[in-house]
């Protein structure tokens, strides 16, 4: 058993010493440490070279990265939830994998601006909740809006009726931000 464990560790060490090149947005970034990229795409080519596409990240010098400000969106984006009866448990709203807001137990409506969580182009908006004993219909509106005299004027690109029931809720929507 110890011989097998030693052999496995030896193989892992050999593979680590033979590590492939890493490119971030087309710039070689081997040896980079203590970095975290959110909302990125990772691709391994046929030679084992790692290509990371990370919008808003620029490689400055060997092993250093900087986050540039993302391009400004031309509109404000909102999520509006309407429940005819309140949910017993919380409903999480995630935008591109980041917690944007939560509908607390007992709330029947929620309006949240999500602009700061979006990037230009395609985005994902996810709603998650645990199971409910009694079914709760939910109307989900996602789109651009503006505050006009204390009320929100929303132009939804997503207008969907979903059901929160005994199997919970996990609905994802695509949103293209301009």
Predicted pLDDT of residue 156: 95
Average pLDDT of the chain, as a whole number: 81
pLDDT the model gives residue 53? 79
pLDDT digits (tens, 9 = 90+) for 107-143: 999 999 999 999 999 999 999 999 988 889 999 999 9
What is the rounded average pLDDT of the residues 5-19? 42
pLDDT at residue 139, rounded to an integer: 96
Instruction: Note the pLDDT of residue 117.
Output: 92
As a whole number of angstroms, the distance between CA 84 and CA 15 comes to 57
CA 63, CA 61: separation in Å to the nearest integer? 6
- Only one residue has tokens 């492939």, namely 20
pLDDT digits (tens, 9 = 90+) for 58-97: 666 554 555 556 678 999 999 999 999 988 999 999 998 8
**Residue 155, SS3?**
strand
Ranges of each domain in the chain: 2-67, 76-177
Kindly tell me the burial class for residue 7, based on how many C-beta atoms sit within 10 Å of its own C-beta (0-12, 13-18, 19 or more): exposed
User: 144 CB contacts (<8 Å, ≥6 apart)?
Assistant: 75, 76, 77, 78, 154, 155, 157
* Phi, psi for residue 157 in degrees, rounded to 5: -100, -15
Please give the structure tokens belonging to residue 26: 């087309």
pLDDT category at 4 given cuts 50, 70, 90 is very low
């Amino acid at each position: 058993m110890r011989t097998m464990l030693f052999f496995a560790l030896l193989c892992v060490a050999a593979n680590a010493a033979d590590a492939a090149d890493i490119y971030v947005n087309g710039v070689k970034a081997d040896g980079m440490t203590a970095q975290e990229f959110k909302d990125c795409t990772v691709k391994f080519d046929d030679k084992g070279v790692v290509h990371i596409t990370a919008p808003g990240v620029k490689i400055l010098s060997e092993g250093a990265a900087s986050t540039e400000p993302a391009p400004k969106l031309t509109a404000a984006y909102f999520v509006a939830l309407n429940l005819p009866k309140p949910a017993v448990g919380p409903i999480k709203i995630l935008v591109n994998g980041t917690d944007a807001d939560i509908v607390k137990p007992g709330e029947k409506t929620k309006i949240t601006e999500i602009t700061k969580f979006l990037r230009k182009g395609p985005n994902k908006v996810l709603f998650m909740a645990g199971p409910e004993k009694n079914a709760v219909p939910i109307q989900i509106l996602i789109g651009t809006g503006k505050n006009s005299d204390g009320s929100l004027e929303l132009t939804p690109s997503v207008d969907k009726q979903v059901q929160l029931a005994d199997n919970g809720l996990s609905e994802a929507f695509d949103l293209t931000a301009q």
